[in-house]
A and B are shown apart, each in its own frame.
Chain A
């Protein structure tokens, strides 16, 4: 029986039949890596004026929540600033709608 003579090109095509990644390189995009959400920058105690009574309460509360006092203050501050940012967005939206 005559031997089936295949060219390199025939073999190349045959190899690609069962592949996806290798066959379609142009369709495989680099994964989009979302920028990691940055943790808020810690603010040193001496840069914020915190009411003494509030600070005292935070010092009592922090160990129960498993945070340091600084972490707890930063979380509270971050929460407050996000809230203010949201309010600002809503105000801008309202003004734009009115215009």
Chain B
């Protein structure tokens, strides 16, 4: 049964796509069957994963214009349900559907036995698509930088996820907060870390692994490669592999 993880933050540029791609690749390297779902109409995950464009993607799948086989792209242990630039139009269409929050769950349930992990790359908003990801997921990861607006953003995400838990997905849990581009020696980072680590609601919910600032992570995306292909000895490569190991340990896997 797949562990479905929503990687969510309504703030842009927090490393959601980078995390989904490289955590997914790291898990696949550890012999896990991984599916990535690009739920962002910007399609950055899709364009990094493959060359060329797609006629059909997650939007078409959700509204029933195509089948799962039409959209699923496999590459060894790592597969992708891509996004297209038409996803925004489909989001408007979905908004009028009864039970609109459950549409992604319906689709992913069909694949639950085919994968060990399904990672969802959410758009930088808390709209219908992000809510769909939280309803479909077992857990969620919040990648964030240790800065003021990200801290306020985390607060908003937690309030929304509490509502989703109460109304639609009672088993939804916070997997963890992942600090990216962290400079742990600065006072500001220490204040953010200490505010969260002393908070009952986040007990055991801060990943021990954090992602250090690494230019190779930015470059790898531009070259349509994972960090393991582009710079296997980089800090980013080590950090994402450590994160995969930490997650596998949490899930009781090797």
Chain B contacts of A65 at CB under 8 A?
none
Whether a CB of chain B sits under 8 angstroms from the CB of A18 is yes
CB of A15 within 8 A of CB of B170, answer: no
Indicate whether A18 sits within 8 Å of B188 (C-beta atoms), given known contacts A25-B199, A25-B201, A31-B165: no
CB-contact partner of B152 in A7, A18, A26, A32, under 8 A: A18
Q: In the assembled complex, how far is the CB of residue A13 from the closest CB belonging to chain B, in whole angstroms?
A: 9
Q: In the assembled complex, how far is the CB of residue A5 from the closest CB belonging to chain B, in whole angstroms?
A: 10
Main SS of the interface on chain B? helix
Chain B contacts of A22 at CB under 8 A?
151, 154-155, 158, 195-196, 199, 201
Q: Report, as a range, how many residues of chain B touch the other chain.
A: 20 to 34
CB of A15 within 8 A of CB of B201, answer: no
The listed residue with most B CB atoms (<10 A of its CB), out of A19, A28, A32, is A19
Chain B contacts of A18 at CB under 8 A?
152, 155
Whether a CB of chain B sits under 8 angstroms from the CB of A96 is no
Q: Report, as a range, how many residues of chain A touch the other chain.
A: 20 to 34
CB of B199 within 8 A of CB of A33, answer: no
C-beta contact mask, B139-161 vs A, less than 8 Å → 1, else 0? 00000000010011011001100
CB of B151 within 8 A of CB of A15, answer: yes
The listed residue with most B CB atoms (<10 A of its CB), out of A15, A19, A25, is A15
Q: In the assembled complex, how far is the CB of residue A45 from the closest CB belonging to chain B, in whole angstroms?
A: 32
Q: In the assembled complex, how far is the CB of residue B21 from the closest CB belonging to chain A, in whole angstroms?
A: 29
Give chain B's interface residues, CB within 8 Å of chain A.
148, 151-152, 154-155, 158-159, 162, 165-166, 170, 187-188, 190-192, 194-196, 199-201
Give chain A's interface residues, CB within 8 Å of chain B.
6-9, 11-12, 14-16, 18-23, 25-26, 28, 31-33
